[in-house]
Structure 1
Amino acid sequence: METATVAALKKELQFYSKDDLMQVCLRLAKFKKENKELLSYLLFESENEQHYIDGIKEEIDEAFASMNTSSFYYSKKSVRKILSNTKKYIRYSQNKETEVQLLLYFCRKLRTMTPSFTRSSVLRNTYETQLRMIRKAMEKLHEDLQYDYQRELEKLES
């Protein structure tokens, strides 16, 4: 079976009734956890973005607190998992300001991690990559926001 393009799906969905669309959405939600998470974001969280960000920050806090730091191997695995979850939530939002806030928060938590992330080249590279991602996302924000986030970014870079 060949997958249809987004444009083809959009054209086809225009002919569906409200009830049929609801059935399609519910079926998608049942099919995969990420679909359900995205639908939950769109229905319940998208109206209050700051509440959504605060919830993700709490998850990041919990994940860093429960991280196994007995060896760098486990630390790297945990950091990668935290980062992939954070990126998943950023994809749901598709808001550049949310992306900047969450990545800045992730980098702040990584800096305060013990043992220090600087002792591992993989974690150091992950940190540097996220700083580049923040800079790239900041370019698409309003100038006032860029200034505020630039100051936070400079603190992380020093």
Structure 2
Amino acid sequence: MKTATAKEIKTELADYSHQQLIDLCLRLSQFKKENKELLSYLLFDATHEETYIINIKNEIDELFLTINTASYYYIKKTVRKILRTLKKYIRYSKNKETEIEVLLYFCKKLKNLAPSINHNNTLLNLYNREIILIKKKITVLHEDLQYDYKLELENLNL
């Protein structure tokens, strides 16, 4: 089965009625959890980006509480899982400021994690990669926002 391109889908959707579009969206949400999460974001959270960021930060807090600190192996697995979840939420938003806020918060939590990530190269490399990514993302923002985020980033590096 050949998958249609985004342009083909767009032109085809233009011909559908309002009720048919609603039915298509509901049917789409039945197949994958990510489709339902994206629709939820677009319908309920896209207009309230600050609330969305706060909800993500609360989820980060909860996920960091579930980390098994018995060994670095379990810490690495859980931290990667948390990061995968965050990247998914960031993809939904497509907002650079949201991405930077969430990644900065993740890095703060990771840096303050006990036992320290400084004793494990894998976690330290993961942390450093995210810091580099944040620096790249900051450069595309407005100068005032760049200054604010660079200050937060400097606090992380201390």
TM-score, normalised on structure 2? 0.97
- Extract structure 1 runs of 4+ deviating beyond 4 A: none
Q: Deviations over 1:77-135 (max 9, x none)?
A: 00000001011000000000000000000000000001111111111111011011111
2-structure distance, mates of 1:60, 1:22: 32
The residue number in structure 1 matching 2:83 is: 83
Structure 2: runs of 5 or more not aligned: none
The residue number in structure 2 matching 1:141 is: 141
2-structure distance, mates of 1:3, 1:146: 40
Q: How far is 1:4 from its partner?
A: 1.4
The residue number in structure 2 matching 1:18 is: 18
**Pair 1:109 & 2:109 matched:** yes
Q: How far is 1:7 from its partner?
A: 1.3
2-structure distance, mates of 1:132, 1:14: 42
The residue number in structure 2 matching 1:2 is: 2
2-structure distance, mates of 1:156, 1:112: 10
**Pair 1:48 & 2:66 matched:** no
2-structure distance, mates of 1:65, 1:118: 19
The residue number in structure 2 matching 1:32 is: 32
1-structure distance, mates of 2:137, 2:95: 9
2-structure distance, mates of 1:136, 1:90: 15
2-structure distance, mates of 1:105, 1:141: 18
Q: How far is 1:8 from its partner?
A: 1.3
2-structure distance, mates of 1:13, 1:82: 35
- RMSD between superposed Cα atoms in Å: 0.8
Q: How far is 1:38 from its partner?
A: 0.5
2-structure distance, mates of 1:139, 1:27: 40
Q: How far is 1:34 from its partner?
A: 0.4
User: What secondary structure sits across from 2:86 in the alignment?
Assistant: helix
**Pair 1:68 & 2:57 matched:** no
Letter in 2 for 1:2: K
Letter in 2 for 1:64: F
Q: How far is 1:154 from its partner?
A: 1.1
**Pair 1:153 & 2:146 matched:** no
Q: How far is 1:140 from its partner?
A: 1.7
Q: How far is 1:138 from its partner?
A: 1.0
**Identical-pair percentage:** 56
TM-score, normalised on structure 1? 0.97
Letter in 1 for 2:44: F
